[in-house]
Amino acid sequence: MKRLKSVKIVGIISVFFCLVFASDAFANPRMFAAAQDVFQAYRVDVSSVQMEIVQRNQSEVFVLHVKARRNNFDMALMLGFMAAGTAVEKSHNTNVTGVRVIVEVPYKETLFVEASSTIEHVKKLVNGETKPEEFMRKFVIFT
């Protein structure tokens, strides 16, 4: 009888931990899907393989790899920031502290334009508190 009671308690505890940790396991696919929705609205094809969450100390950085045509890399860069901000807001992920967008530009040889910003500035862009021109001038660091 005692053994059956202890098995029930262990079972209940294990189900509780599975439910708690399952929400984090499904957070990234939800975030990637929200970013894909933004790209699809602008007819830019981006698969979830080109998005990743990179751990840095106690925080996370949302990294997007976007392929652009030769003449519209700036639009692809801005769209990457918009998609990342929308995805983080919809997923309510509080661990993400930064966004890095890497744009692949085909030219004679492939060029990469990489820019990053804090999630606070990206959220202000998404909410319309910051104009896109001001965001690119003041809050984006090109590397």
> Tens digit of pLDDT for each residue in 54-93?
988 888 999 999 988 778 888 889 999 999 999 998 888 7
For position 73, what pLDDT does the model report? 85
pLDDT attached to residue 61: 92
pLDDT, mean of each 10-residue run, the chain (143 residues): 52 44 55 87 73 86 87 88 92 87 88 92 93 88 76
Signed CA dihedral, 75, 33, 64, 123: sign only: positive
Contacts of 77 (CB under 8 A, 6+ apart): 66, 68, 101, 103, 113, 115
Note the helical H segments in 26-131: 27-41, 73-91, 119-126
pLDDT at 7: 46
- State pTM to two decimals: 0.76
User: 104: part of which helix (H) or strand (E)?
Assistant: strand 96-105
Using CA atoms, how far residue 112 sits from 27, 68, 78, 93, 139, in Å, is: 28, 10, 15, 28, 19
Q: What pLDDT shows up at residue 5?
A: 57
CA distances from 52 to 55, 65, 76, 81, 136 (A): 10, 9, 17, 14, 22
Rounded Cα distance between 17 and 7, Å, is: 15
| Bridging pattern class, strands 141-142 and 111-118 | antiparallel
